[in-house]
Amino acid sequence: MPVPAFSDIAKPSNDLINKDFYHATAAALEVKLKADNAVSFTAKGTSAHEGATNASLEIKKGLNIKGATLTGAWNTANMTSEKIELDNVIADGLKVELLNAFSPAAGNKGQKANLYFKQAAFNGRLFADYTPTGAFSATVDGVFGHEGFLVGGEAGYDVQKAAITKYSAAVGYQTPQYSAAVQATNSLSIFTASYYQMVNAQVEAGAKAAWDAKTSGPVGIELGGKYKIDPESFAKGKINDRGIVSLAYNTKVKQGFTFGIGASFDSQKLNEAGHKIGTTFTFEG
């Protein structure tokens, strides 16, 4: 298996427990359209359980120029962004991204440079961020892998302060059927252990435990599972140590239209208000 990026060492269990649960918002709508001239439109709308409805529209245009890919985007906040990608152009296994953000009303909104380097036994990344105020920071991470065993680390650096701002470490083991990871993040103050297993072609299961050394509170535990009903639909469920139960169902109604519904209940207070239900609609064309 390829060596994952540092943030993806626990990706199988994180995706199982965190993704595709729709109760966080009352309703969400996403429309993705792509024209023949490589222009794509993405419109999003979110209705919160409490508060205002949010909406956005993003237009992107991609160009392939002598081994480089140029992507431009504009959104309804009157922000424009440009991204240049160089994949395996400078060196094999190296991808370079240069990003620029600009507001016609406010001017320069910052620049970023991202480097991704992948080899058979190594996956490394560098993220550099420059803000209009002159602040410059960088984050570097890397993971070494051998026969399924993974060891990785991450560090953040503030150039103006000449100081390390964060550091993290992780170890893990992965196979096509299961994976496990132990991570120490937030400058080694939050410890997380996770496990994921593909039981069979239809069933996935996972667990996650987290402890914050700064607060010295109880260990938070989450258990989750996913059942693939058919090639077009699945159901998910999870429960945490506080008795919060979350359920979700997702199905592709027809080509280009996906529907999801989810709910969250406090199993210890079923007769009280506070339970949440949400839906999501995704159109692609």
Q: Which two tokens stand for residue 152?
A: 């990785």
Q: Is 40 left (phi over 0), alpha (psi -120 to 50) or beta?
A: beta
Q: How many domains does the chain have?
A: 1
Residue 228 lies in a domain: yes
Domain range for 47 is 6-284
Residue with tokens 């979350």: 246
Q: Does residue 50 register a pLDDT over 90? A: no
The pTM of the whole model exceeds 0.85: yes
Q: Does residue 274 register a pLDDT over 80? A: no
Residue 47 lies in a domain: yes
Residue 88: pLDDT band (50, 70, 90) is: confident
Q: Compute the mean pLDDT over every residue in the chain, rounded to the nearest whole number.
A: 92
Q: What is the CATH number of the domain that holds 276?
A: 2.40.160.10
> H or E element: which one contains 266?
strand 257-266
Residue 1 lies in a domain: no
Residue 57 lies in a domain: yes
pLDDT tens-place string over residues 216-244: 889 999 999 999 999 999 999 999 999 99
> H or E element: which one contains 15?
helix 11-18
**Which among 105, 112, 99, 117 is positioned nearest to 138, based on CA atoms?**
112
Residue 212: pLDDT band (50, 70, 90) is: very high
Residue 136: pLDDT band (50, 70, 90) is: very high
Residue 157 lies in a domain: yes
The contacts of residue 142 (CB under 8 Å, 6+ apart) are 6, 122, 123, 124, 125, 152, 153
